[in-house]
Chain A
Amino acid sequence: MQMGAVAVLTGEVRAEGVGKTIDETTLLLPTDVSADPGECIVLRGPNGSGKTTLLRIIGGLLVPSTGTATIGGREADERDRTVRAAVAALLGAPTTYRDLTLVDHLVLIDSTWGGDPATSDDRSLALLDRLGIAHLDDRFPHELSSGQEQLFRLALTFSRPASVVLLDEPEQRLDTGKRQVVAELIRERTESGGTVVMACHDPELTATLATRVVDIVPAR
């Protein structure tokens, strides 16, 4: 049994005047972001300006204090299974199974999204290969270096279907060559009609991928 019949949302991302304040601390000033299928929007701003908060609001993990966020015309709320089915996100470290290897993780995700069991292994290994960590397929997550761990997290995120992909600094801890690989994966996702919204501190990656750049103004 999968998630049941859920509507397929398009990758239209709209965040209008979304801001977040907790007690008297402002994490994010009211901000507008809009992204359509095929676009890659890069959020830019100094540390603490609220990029991750904005991504969490768009992903439906955080309720905005002001404004509204929608995915495909539906309120961005992670409790809504339709939204969950539409959004893949790498926001911080995902919790992994300590008793599964890298390839096991990808097979598990692929199977739960209804991937063809006959070719699940091949797809999983191919994705690991794209990211240059196919030789680590039988390792457990705790046996990876920090850079390899980031590549594995990206593999987890890209292994599931989604019309919207949210990435928080996907370039962190990666060398130049691996950043190009990640850029290629993101480009493929947008070319196939997906929407990508990501926070990024790498000017080269931003120049290569961004259809639009949104500068986030820090609260103070």
Chain B
Amino acid sequence: MSKRKQPARAKPAPEPTTAQPTTAQSTTPQPMPAEPAPAERALSTAPDRTAPDRTAYDPTTPDPMTDEPTTPAEVDYDDHDLLGQADWVIGGEAARKARQQGLYAGYVLFLGALVYGLPIVQAVFRTSDASSLGDQLSSPEAIALLVASVAALLGAVVFAGRFRGPVVPPMPWIDLVLPVPLDRALALRRWWRYAAVGGLFIGALSGLTIGAGLAFAHLAGPLTIIVTTAVGTALGVLATRLWLWSQVRSWPGPDRGLSLLWRVPDALRELHAESLRAHSANTSTMAGSALTGNLRTARLALTRPIRHGRSARLRPGRPFGVLVRRDVLGLRRTPGAFLSGLGLTALGGAIVTWAFTQPAAPSIAATIGLLPLYLGFGAWAEGLRLQADNVGTPSLLGTSELTEAGAHVTVPTALTVLVLGGWVGVAAAIGSLPASAPLSLWLVLVLVVAGNVLAAFRGSPTFMLRPQMVIAWYAVPAFTVVLLGSLVAVLTKAGSYTWLSVVSWLVYAVLAWAVSKVRRLTYLHRA
């Protein structure tokens, strides 16, 4: 309970009588009522209409008995009780039930990890040469990669916190409850707890799944399960706290240091109402855009306005060259996009190259590496997406759609070739570069380019907007890349070159499909 300065009457208020109005319209001061216990409130089906309304209290209203103005005093103010009342008014019984849904989601997640996660992790580490894989997984390179991946994950959490932190109450709560002089840590604690419990649970579950997978694949002992679960839990907690810290830092304030990581109530008190409103609005925008397939809006909600690198100029020249230079300039002005692309491509490229060059690598490794590789290319392909955004508007550029698309894939393709080339060089240096690896990596590169063109020019959904269908619609390009890329890996590893040539035609068919999508989206918008 906290004490707040609250104006009060100088004299005891008269007892309310049945003749006196007790609704919000009343201007007659009322004594504080005895509050119902939380359990009682949860069980009731409607707000207590006989309860006097504090909002009717007006300190400047003269006492009706004496006609004298009131004077300020100090009274007890129960924050928990006020929060309970606000909860009831805003959500009623439905809000309590909605919170219980969170427990059910956790249960489903646990079952999902058990049924799908564990077999997948086992498959990841399943190999014909367990001892070599064990040696490679405990090598300094593998550990460095693991540390880099964890660091990238935590970096992504910090990045996300700038736009969408863990504490995002609904708009009515921000506008109607937060302005009340309650302790902000208390008013926001619920949303923090949701995120904190979620982070802890996901971290523990991930650690448990990975540890169990390693143990079942006989790459580690049973003790590993405990260790990975503990490490996963700790990382989950750290990630959630970094997420909150990043949300605090998204708004100017006096206390934004790293010490907020262990001073959670203070971090919650640092959250500004305007920042919370912006994060809540971002959430609505992203969810709405994602559900309707409006990717440009979702993307712009995530990006920060560019404000630097303005002194650099776009050098004029021939159309293709100037479009390529446009993309280079764009990456110079958005170093975050460049670095995230570099991180993802380096990670994905390392795993994919390992899968193609090392006999001990499990077949599924390529599947895992393809996704970051695809996403990394995408981070560098903003020009391609901007071209697709412009479809349907009067043309400003004097180039054909294919020339423009070709120019826009040049920079990301060149950067991806550099990264993959670097990893192939490393593989060659350690003396393990099968002749089939460069050919397979070439097919992967074509797939990644085609997949990103497909993704940029996917247009808008033309079906009934159901969440499952929208997710499937989003996933088609990435799924195509991962599926065909995995097939390439499996066939390369098995040495089935006849089938590999068949799959290579499929890969080029995907590229042709992507080119046709560019044409179709450019021209079929007219109606």
Contacts and interface: CB of A to CB of B under 8 A. Distances in A.
Interface of A: 1-4, 59-63, 77-79, 81, 84-85, 87-92, 94-95, 97-101, 103-104, 107-115, 117, 120-121, 138-140, 142-143, 156-157, 160, 166
Contacts of A61: 392, 394, 526
29 contacts: A1-B319, A1-B403, A2-B319, A2-B398, A2-B403, A3-B400, A60-B526, A79-B522, A81-B400, A85-B398, A91-B394, A94-B390, A95-B386, A95-B393, A98-B306, A98-B386, A99-B329, A100-B326, A104-B329, A111-B319, A112-B322, A112-B397, A112-B398, A113-B398, A114-B319, A138-B310, A139-B310, A142-B305, A142-B306
- Main secondary structure on chain B at its contact with chain A? loop
Interface string B496-527: 00000000000000000000000000110011
Interface in B69-107: none
Nearest to B397: A112
Interface in B293-328: 300, 303, 305-307, 310-311, 313-320, 322-323, 326
Interface residues of B, number: 41
Given A61-B394, A63-B527, 6 more contacts: A78-B526, A92-B393, A95-B389, A111-B322, A114-B398, A115-B316
B316 A111 contact: yes
Interface of B: 300, 303, 305-307, 310-311, 313-320, 322-323, 326, 329-330, 333-334, 382-383, 386, 389-390, 392-400, 403, 522-523, 526-527
Nearest to A93: B393
A-B interface, 4 closest residue pairs, ranked by CB to CB distance from nearest? A120-B316, A89-B394, A113-B398, A99-B330
Contact of B316 (A60, A91, A110): A110
A78 to B, nearest CB: 6
Nearest to B305: A142
B394 A88 contact: yes
A80 to B, nearest CB: 10
Contact of B397 (A60, A91, A108, A117): A108
Most buried by B among A59, A87, A139, A140: A140
Contacts of B522: 79
Contacts of B333: 99
Nearest to B404: A112
Given A99-B333, A107-B316, A113-B398, A79 B523 contact: yes
Contacts of B300: 98
Given A104-B329, A121-B316, A97 B386 contact: yes
A159 B310 CA distance: 21
A160 B392 CA distance: 18
Contacts of B329: 99-100, 104
B526 A108 contact: no
Contacts of B399: 1-3, 112
B393 A94 contact: yes
B399 to A, nearest CB: 5
B394 A1 contact: no
A196 to B, nearest CB: 14
